[in-house]
Amino acid sequence: MISNRAARMALGLALAAALSACVTLPPNSVRSPQDPWESWNRGVYKFNDAVDRGIVKPVTRTYVRVVPKPVRTGIHNFFANLDTPTTMVNDVLQGKFLAAGNDLGRFLLNSTFGLGGILDPATSAGLARNDEDFGQTLGKWGVHAGPFVELPILGPSDLRDAPAKLVDTYSNPRQYIKNTYVKYGLYLPYLVDIRAELLPLDDTLKNVYDPYAFIRDAYLQRRAYLISDGKIKDEEPLVDPGEDTPPPSAAPAAPAATTAPAATAPPATKPDDSSPQQ
């Protein structure tokens, strides 16, 4: 069975990532309170980066170079349309019924007039694309994100979002395709499409001192932004509302500066009138 082979392959990748884990932290690195398993996570990141450099990135670059842009756009729209039911379910779970109606309209319009989602007439009709998943729903319900975790192959996540990914798969129509080869065969172009969207960020990663910390912090900040629906002010730190982080302690007030007493000039002496005149 293809599912058994896929399970064995996934187990083998997880074991390889586990064997490569636990690396030495960079010198003078500041430990993040949201990343208590940093040494292990860096090992998994090192494994993921090796797979990306050796397999995923070359395949994706070939895909971008060979496949015309309109075709790639259609593939991206197709998979985005398949993700719409997941968004609708989580809209309802979060009480966003207007957004759920909007996404239902998107799904119906793109699935019919958009030729199964290859085209995107819903955007032209004014139906904006929303982004919701079960991890965001748990965050809305007050579930703490927990420690950051780097997943083999799947990349950055946390203890709240990692199991939520499994829940989201059951609200995706791809899960209910009868043909096993088609069902699992769709994952390869899906992952390549995701990696193609991230190719423009490769140059940025080349210029940062610590790519692992950069990706970790960017992931945590984006998740906090999505869960708060973008209502975080610019001057406020991007902290997940579900995170159990202590409030910053007030800095002690600086003592008032004391001014030195002004120096007084000696009193001017009146010339002695009794001195003999020349």
Domain range holding 97? 33-227
Q: Which is more confidently placed, 12 or 117?
A: 117
Q: Taking residues 215-242, report their average pLDDT.
A: 78
Look at residue 262 in the predicted model and tell me its pLDDT. 46
Look at residue 155 in the predicted model and tell me its pLDDT. 95
Residue 59 resides in a domain: yes
| Three state DSSP letters for the chain | CHHHHHHHHHHHHHHHHHHCCCCCCCCCCCCCCCCCCHHHHHHHHHHHHHHHHHHHHHHHHHHHHHCCHHHHHHHHHHHHHHCHHHHHHHHHHCCCHHHHHHHHHHHHHHHHCCCCCCCCHHHHCCCCCCCCCHHHHHHHCCCCCCCEEEECCCEEEECCHHHHHHHHHCCCHHHHCCCHHHHHHCHHHHHHHHHHHHHHHHHHHHCCCCHHHHHHHHHHHHHHHHHCCCCCCCCCCCCCCCCCCCCCCCCCCCCCCCCCCCCCCCCCCCCCCCCCCC
Share of the chain above pLDDT 70, in %: 72
The structure's pTM equals 0.74
Task: State the total domains in the chain.
Answer: 1
248: confidence class by pLDDT, cuts 50, 70, 90: low
Residue 232 resides in a domain: no
Share of the chain above pLDDT 90, in %: 70
Look at residue 143 in the predicted model and tell me its pLDDT. 96
Residue 27 resides in a domain: no
Residue 87 resides in a domain: yes
pLDDT at 261 exceeding the cut of 90: no
Residue 74 resides in a domain: yes
Residue 188 resides in a domain: yes
Residue 245 resides in a domain: no
Look at residue 51 in the predicted model and tell me its pLDDT. 97
Least confident of 27-31, 95-99, 152-156: 27-31
Residue 132 resides in a domain: yes
